[in-house]
Amino acid sequence: MMDITEAELIKAAQEYLSAVDNPAPGFEPGTISTPAFAAKEGISKGRARKTLDNMCRDGLIRPDKVEFTNPWGNKQHIPGWRWVD
């Protein structure tokens, strides 16, 4: 397994959150959830949470309820992170 640095994870999260034209499946643009980020990067949820917490501390993102649309078209608000403009 390849060891991913914290800087690489932060860069990946920034790219993920700034993909306005191509947001993550089911998520509104500029948002992410900890489990979705962990799955996308192939890391543990704990490590994903630590990375996202660090980004929040640095003022890049903020915790929020984000809109997620499941495969059946049902929208729900889940805990997540929102890109700070």
What is the model's pLDDT at position 23? 58
- pLDDT value for 22: 55
Query: 68, 26 in Cβ contact below 8 A?
Result: yes
Side-chain half-sphere of 70: how many Cα atoms within 13 Å? 6
Stated as kind and residue range, the H or E segment containing 33 is none
Given this model, what pLDDT does residue 47 score? Answer: 94
pTM tops 0.85: no
Phi, psi of 15 (to 5 degrees): -65, -40
Architecture of domain 6-83: Orthogonal Bundle (1.10)
* CA torsion, ordered 29, 24, 81, 12, to nearest 10 deg: -110
Digitized pLDDT (tens) for each residue of the chain, 85 residues in all: 457 788 888 888 888 777 655 556 788 888 989 999 998 889 999 999 999 999 999 999 999 999 999 889 899 999 999 988 7
User: Are the CB atoms for 66 and 16 separated by under 8 Å?
Assistant: no
